[in-house]
Amino acid sequence: MKVTIGTDGLVDTVAINPRALRKGAQALEELTREAVREAQRDWFGRLGEHDPAVASEDALRAKLEEINAEYSLRMEEINRLIAGLRSSR
């Protein structure tokens, strides 16, 4: 699983390896969570390097809340996709 975050701090792309779909919803949720966290750490690191003022704790917390909201929406989409794949078997 690979997640990228755009310049706006929101999830930009989610790439899912088809093998991950065979592991079940719980495993896919964990893989997604880890991929999002890795992308967030990378993004926050790059943000702090370019503009330390923007990297203040409050700004980062607000951006993290936005990212978490986007993550929740994406997880709902992924769960609907999984449910659709399972029902089409």
Cβ atoms 55, 47 nearer than 8 A? yes
pLDDT tens per residue across span 48-67: 666 556 556 777 788 888 88
pLDDT tier at 35, thresholds 50, 70, 90: very high
Query: Which amino acid makes up residue 69?
Result: A
Q: What's the confidence (pLDDT) of residue 6?
A: 86
Burial class (CB in 10 A: 0-12, 13-18, 19+), 63: buried
The candidate with the shortest Cα–Cα distance to 51, out of 63, 68, 39, is 63
Cβ atoms 86, 23 nearer than 8 A? no
Mean pLDDT of the chain: 83
Q: What's the confidence (pLDDT) of residue 20?
A: 84
pTM reported for the whole predicted model: 0.54
